[in-house]
Amino acid sequence: MDYRKLGPSGAVVTAYCLGTMTFGAEASEAASHKLLDDYFAWGGNFIDTADVYSAGKSEEIIGRWLKARPTEARQAVVATKGRFPMGNGPNDIGLSRRHLGQALDDSLRRLGIDHIDLYQMHAWDALTPIEETLRFLDDAVRAGKIGYYGFSNYVGWHIAKAAEIAKARGYTRPVTLQPQYNLLVRDIELEIVDACLDAGMGLLPWSPLGGGWLTGKYKRDETPTGATRLGENPNRGSEAYAARNAQERTWAIIETVEEIAKARGVSMAQVALAWTAARPAVTSVILGARTSEQLADNLGAAKLALSEAEMGRLNEISAPQPAAYPYGESGRNQRHRKIEGGR
């Protein structure tokens, strides 16, 4: 079992987290509880959800599971999020003290607990002063309603600004960022990862399998069919699918993952997950399995340690390719500095 600290905090979580966005939507309550049972039987202890997942149903399903399994509940590290609309009113959205106060209380009620381990801001809110959000979060920690807080879908300057204001004002500081991160989507390495490392924050990558692309279930120039999200609902994400399908980089990455998987006798998903888990600053990788079979295969990545050569191949074939300033070669050259004749 690979345990890691939750960012700079003293809390400890497993390297693979169970994501629950499908609970109450693609997965019934019985199926969701089975996924939770399987995950904790494997040794996992980290659950990630959000108030908007299935309009609160995901949190309610988790809450009933926690109530029925007190032993597992005692070990569970529970993370949820607030920010997106949970009603039609003008204050039913955002990161204001007004909205977050209600959102946090509602999440606690749905989960059936009096304390959330990690409360995450689901996205930046340009209308609310960051000082207001940070003060609310500091107050929530002091009140015992949350243990830690983090962000999701923030960019580099959001992270740097929030971390420095929290430090300067003596507020509790953020511990994690939850971004999209996988072999197909590595642009967070251009600035966001560095911002997190500078702030001492850990990464909780979502969509580590690139929406299923890195499992090998999609084929070049073939319309998705069958039991896939795109196969079941072709209108959802069809434009994004077409754009990714048209990129040679996509298929070069997929082919490399497949070659390594075949050579190691493991699934493509396990290779992709093992790569993500081994990246700098990563605390725990969020698994979005829809079935027990998918979850079991994904958790097999915990036993896979990619070699330096395998990591090198994957790093090279999937490297971000920024062409323009400031992230392209000219920008990198401007920021580079060394002591002439030094070591």
pLDDT in the model for residue 327: 81
Helices (H) and strands (E) in the chain, counts: 14, 10
Amino acid symbol at 268: M
Q: Sorting pLDDT into bands at 50, 70 and 90, what band is 160? A: very high
Cα gap 43→13, rounded to integer Å: 10
pLDDT in the model for residue 246: 75
pLDDT in the model for residue 236: 58
pLDDT in the model for residue 193: 97
For the CA atoms of 184, 189, 195, 201, what is the dihedral angle to 10 degrees?
50
pLDDT in the model for residue 296: 97
Q: Residue for token digits 């920008």?
A: 331
pLDDT digits (tens, 9 = 90+) for 83-114: 999 999 999 999 999 999 999 999 999 999 99
- Residue 16 a catalytic site member: no
pLDDT, mean over the chain: 93
Burial annotation 325-343 (CB, 10 A radius, 16+ → b, else e): eebeeeeeeeeeeeeeeee
pLDDT digits (tens, 9 = 90+) for 60-87: 999 999 999 999 999 999 999 999 999 9
Q: Which of 212, 267, 193, 205 is nearest to 46 (CA)?
A: 205
**Average pLDDT for 120-124:** 97
pLDDT digits (tens, 9 = 90+) for 313-324: 999 999 998 767
Q: H or E element: which one contains 274?
A: helix 268-277
Report whether pLDDT(157) > 70.
yes
pLDDT digits (tens, 9 = 90+) for 181-193: 999 999 999 999 9
Structural domains of the chain, ranges and CATH numbers in brackets: 3-335 (3.20.20.100)
Q: Sorting pLDDT into bands at 50, 70 and 90, what band is 231? A: low
Structural contact between residues 160 and 192, judged by C-beta atoms closer than 8 angstroms: no
Amino acid symbol at 184: L
Q: Which of 16, 39, 53, 171 is labelled catalytic?
A: 53
Cα gap 254→264, rounded to integer Å: 15
Q: H or E element: which one contains 150?
A: strand 146-152
Report whether pLDDT(343) > 60.
no
Q: Sorting pLDDT into bands at 50, 70 and 90, what band is 248? A: confident
